[in-house]
Amino acid sequence: MSLNRRHFITIVGGSAGATLAGCAGMQGPMVGAGSAGELMPLGSTRRVVVIGGGYGGTIAAKYIRMADPKTEVVLIERDDHFVSCPFSNLYVGGVLKDLSSLTIRYDKLAANHGIKVVQAEATAIDPAAHMVVTSKGRIGYTRLIVSPGVDFRLEEMAGYNEAAMERMPHAWKAGPQTLLLKRQLDSMADGGTVVMTVPLTPYRCPPGPYERANMIAFYLKRNKPKSKLIMLDANPDVTSKGPLFKKGWRDNYAANFEYRPAKKVTEVDVKGGAVLVEGLETVKGDVINVIPPQRAGRIAVAAGLVGPDKNWCPVNPNTFESTLHKDIHVIGDACIAGAMPKSGYSANSEAKICAANVVALLNGRETVEMSGINTCYSYITDKQAVSVAGVYKAQGNAIVAVPNSGGVSPADFSSTQAEAVYADSWLRNILTEMST
């Protein structure tokens, strides 16, 4: 499908808990404020515009400039800082005292690589005109990379809306929602019940909900031992690292954690403090953490980058160019990446191969074949973690796992302690790569 100038779709400004970059924001040399006019005329300039400053967008912008300094790179992001979703569960569990170690700014990234940062909201894309419309004006592009993270399919959960999020936080975009969930846990009386919901796959970070269960159970065990966590999982079983998580639950949280699979929450009762499982079962909680079903970030949906399912963006597995709109690439959680999970490390890996191939396409060179990696760490306790790793390649029109590659970490105590050290190192390194 092609859009002309009269038919490109706009969207209303972002709402509470819904950022264009998922868990991301940035700050750097700001291009001056504008109006609805053209903010940065393209002219003869060869320019790549990147929407979204999360795990994918920042890396794509950086690596394009590193590979081809003659190409101008403009990074558009609504927020003025970045808070990492990975490891934010540690704050919920009281392991981290604040979010400062997960928060970075982008002045060094912009200065070191000559990236032009526009702090604005991307409100529309006109593929025919090669133009991004922002809250500060229009920006033309030669090629566009969209890394918008996720938004929520609220229409599938009756009663759950932006107002409900202030009573039943999702905390699936790190920042104010994370702080709110932690405050609710702190305020709950000992003996209270926490209810947590998990949507059907695919969603951002397959093991993330189960790590959060660990951290909430860890918090309750240490601070409110008479309390209980009930996890309602829409999936028939744990979606990632199942045996490792289940062992962790048996070893550490048998007294205050209950896992209930195949329990799809379809409605919430904010006033009554309850969720409804397919209209048949009501589960009440003093604190309710609702993780809704998800889709690509709203700018991708509005621009017609999602496929027939109306949720995720089909792409070329080597270049990550949209199969629906030429010269637009989609990376990170929003794209359909086959066997590659929706994770921070996947977004980082996708951004690098996308950047290399965008540079190749701009310079009339052969593109390279996709070779991706992912590692995902999940905490069991404050000092124990487990991990899963994978290696991926393009095969036909899909991304598949390389046979006999990857796997999960050992389950013994000393190994899980070592994995926690590796996890901390991974976070420090990847955030440094994004910010310098």
For 175-220, the pLDDT digits (tens) are 999 999 999 999 999 999 999 999 999 999 999 999 999 999 999 9
Residue 279 pLDDT level (bands cut at 50, 70, 90): confident
Helices (DSSP H) in 114-204: which residue ranges? 162-165, 176-187
Q: What is the pLDDT of residue 36?
A: 56
Residue 35 pLDDT level (bands cut at 50, 70, 90): very low
Smallest CA-to-CA distance from 126 within 357, 299, 296 is with 299
Smallest CA-to-CA distance from 91 within 106, 79, 104, 103 is with 103
Mean pLDDT value across residues 379-393 = 98
- The percentage of residues in the chain with a pLDDT greater than 90, rounded to a whole number, is 89
Q: Has residue 432 got a pLDDT over 60? A: yes
Write the pLDDT tens digit of every residue in 67-119: 999 999 999 999 989 999 999 999 999 999 999 999 989 999 999 999 999 99
Residue type, 122: A
Q: What is the pLDDT of residue 1?
A: 31
Mean pLDDT value across residues 11-39 = 38
Query: In the numeric block, which tokens belong to residue 86?
Result: 């990975």
Mean pLDDT value across residues 417-430 = 98
Q: What is the pLDDT of residue 43?
A: 85
Residue type, 167: R
Total length of the chain:
436
Q: What is the pLDDT of residue 126?
A: 97
Residue 32 pLDDT level (bands cut at 50, 70, 90): very low
Residue 21 and residue 75: Cα distance in Å, rounded? 11
Residue 25 and residue 159: Cα distance in Å, rounded? 29
> Please, what is the average pLDDT of the chain?
92
Q: What is the pLDDT of residue 45?
A: 86
Lowest-pLDDT range, 34-48, 129-143, 270-284, 415-429? 34-48
Q: What is the pLDDT of residue 147?
A: 98
User: How would you classify residue 298: left for phi > 0, otherwise alpha for psi between -120 and 50, otherwise beta?
Assistant: alpha
What are phi and psi for residue 234, nearest 5 degrees?
A: -65, -25
Query: In the numeric block, which tokens belong to residue 353?
Result: 């191969």
In contact, 396 and 227? CB cutoff 8 Å: no
Residue 18 pLDDT level (bands cut at 50, 70, 90): very low
Q: Has residue 240 got a pLDDT over 90? A: yes
Q: Has residue 433 got a pLDDT over 60? A: yes
Residue 23 pLDDT level (bands cut at 50, 70, 90): very low
- The percentage of residues in the chain with a pLDDT greater than 70, rounded to a whole number, is 92
Lowest-pLDDT range, 3-7, 163-167, 273-277, 403-407? 3-7
Q: Has residue 15 got a pLDDT over 50? A: no
Write the pLDDT tens digit of every residue in 109-132: 999 999 999 999 999 999 999 999
Residue 246 and residue 128: Cα distance in Å, rounded? 51
DSSP annotation of 130 reads T
Residue 67 and residue 272: Cα distance in Å, rounded? 56
Smallest CA-to-CA distance from 371 within 405, 409, 328, 343 is with 405
In contact, 252 and 246? CB cutoff 8 Å: no
**Is residue 47 within a helix (H) or strand (E), and if so which, with residue range?**
strand 47-51
Mean pLDDT value across residues 384-400 = 97
Q: Pairing between strand 371-379 and 385-395?
A: antiparallel
Residue 159 and residue 266: Cα distance in Å, rounded? 9
Write the pLDDT tens digit of every residue in 348-366: 999 999 999 999 999 999 9
Q: Has residue 289 got a pLDDT over 60? A: yes
